[in-house]
Amino acid sequence: MKNLKCILAIILTVTIVAVSLTSQADEQKPKPYPLDTCLVCGMKLGEMGKPCVFVYKGQEIKVCGKSEKTDFEKNPDKYLKKLADAEGKLKR
């Protein structure tokens, strides 16, 4: 009986830890970038080489290159608003 209680306690603990880790992993996934154009300059991504991809506050961002990333970092609110506006148009 004592062994059964220990086994049940271990199973319960493992289950709780697994559920907790799964929840944390889901929270860490960035929101996918919905556009096929650069958020800063508006050009089609990939025309000038491999896009620069990064995550800002849980949102995946794609721009043409490092110079556009620098521009984004100077005024991220401006570009996040531009992204939200573009997403709104895509949903219509």
pLDDT of residue 26: 56
Higher pLDDT, 27 or 72: 72
Higher pLDDT, 5 or 74: 74
Regarding whether 52 and 63 lie in a shared domain, the answer is yes
Regarding whether 53 and 12 lie in a shared domain, the answer is no
Regarding whether 42 and 15 lie in a shared domain, the answer is no
Q: pLDDT by residue (tens digit) across 32-64?
A: 999 999 999 999 999 889 999 999 999 999 999
Number of folded domains that form the chain: 2
- Residues 71-80 have a mean pLDDT of 97
State how far the Cα of 31 lies from the Cα of 47, in Å rounded to an integer.
Answer: 24
Residue 18, domain extent: 1-29
72: CB partners within 8 A, 6+ apart: 39, 40, 56, 61, 63, 79
